[in-house]
Amino acid sequence: MSNLSILQLPLDILVNIMTNLSFADLRNVMLTCKALRDLILANNSIWRLISRDCRERLILHNSSDNSQTLTLSWYNRCRISHNWCRGIYRSKVVIYHQINYMPWLKFHESQVLFLSVGSNLQCYPNDKKGLPNCKTTLWKLQVPTVKRFDVRTDDISRFVVKNNFIVCGNRDGCVAVYRMENPRRKPYLLHHLIDCHENGQVEVSAVEIVNSTHKPCIVTASDSIATLRFWSITPDINGTNGVTNSRSVCTNEINLGDNVGVRCVALNSTESKLSIGPNGNSKPLLLDINTSKLVLTFESTKNIKQAVRDVRWHNENIITFVTHSGMLQMLDTRTGNLVYEAIDPFQSTLYCVKSDGVNSILVGSSEYSRCVLFDARNPAHHVQMYFTQKKSSPIYSLDFDSTKLIAAADRSIAVLNFNINPYTVETRDYSHAFEFVNR
């Protein structure tokens, strides 16, 4: 009988053996000795294959608009993914205020948290664990506002951050454009667009930036009128930083037909197509930026009771969007067909959506401060639900990376940390399928 040990085999042969084991067998091998355990934990190729073959592995990447490079090993990615799918996390409300708002947030490159509350835009750093530290602000500013004598507020509706620009759409009908040299430093006001639509009588509900690397072109839309406007901003490089040293002109105005208005817009990564979430339709529109013509219109799905509340690009060809009726759908822009369709477990209205560009999709619901995780490979039912806060509220905005979820409710912001030991917290598993019974 040979006295050779399995540990004496060449490393590539050992790794090949491990990749052919089931997950349960691999766990048992890790329990046999420290050498095999360290080998398995440190080898990324083993866990990369496990994550590829196992359908339960989700949130292995950051959100699709987060370009931060992941430094986690593939073992830790799979471990944290297990926590996402099983409802194993530690939650904390990091910001609380007494007044109801509709906040918007962005966890910029997993480094700083941008948050709009009312007419204020705030930036928070991370702590040593990589979680937003909302006890201190890096900077805070109030966007310029215009007094309107109606029921509207002067709150920020949405903002977008691209390259070195921050563009804030405001409910008073104006837009503030900021230049940002460093996310950790306070940006300066480049231009204040006043009365963007209907002489300022309607709010700006959606904004986007085109050609943000050079002279920015701002896209504005309102949920009250079916018109898109493109604004060219020309900074005065001879002047000092300020509002008076820039000029704006409306270079293009596109009428969207008999749609009621626009809730949201999103530009693809090549800046060639703009997806538009309209009121009065259950599917988004698609605009070709180069020709200024609508490529997809979906006349057959027009319905005054419907609305696309949020829209994102899952990849270069597929749009992910959520509707007022609680539907999460994915649309292939090449064919105009739906390639994925799921519904909220409680059939509640969905307010926001984000994906990792692979298989994971997170949505924010209108009830119970609830976020829902879906798998793009399985439209039958959701993967997991997260009740982010005790108070019942819509989730107006969310963002995530591979280890954490940040959700904005009407009076608070919550952070859910999934990079934890599963034995230190109680599992909150709401992956069960619900059945509606009419009595």
Amino acid 244: pLDDT: 47
Amino acid 71: pLDDT: 81
pLDDT tens string for the chain (439 positions)?
566 777 778 888 888 888 888 777 888 888 888 888 888 888 888 787 777 666 667 888 888 888 777 788 888 888 899 999 999 999 999 999 999 999 999 999 999 999 999 999 999 999 998 899 999 999 999 999 998 877 778 899 999 999 889 999 999 999 999 999 999 999 999 999 999 999 889 999 999 999 755 678 999 999 999 999 999 988 765 544 444 467 788 889 999 887 789 999 999 999 999 999 999 899 999 999 999 999 998 888 888 888 999 999 999 999 999 999 999 999 999 999 999 999 999 999 999 999 999 999 999 999 999 999 999 998 888 999 999 999 899 999 999 999 999 999 999 999 999 999 999 999 999 998 666 555 5
Residue 341 vs residues 56, 322, 333: alpha-carbon distances, Å: 19, 10, 15
CB atoms inside a 10 Å sphere around CB 372? 24
Amino acid 26: pLDDT: 83
Amino acid 120: pLDDT: 96
Amino acid 211: pLDDT: 78
Amino acid 239: pLDDT: 46
Amino acid 189: pLDDT: 94
Note whether 278 and 308 are within 8 A (CB): yes
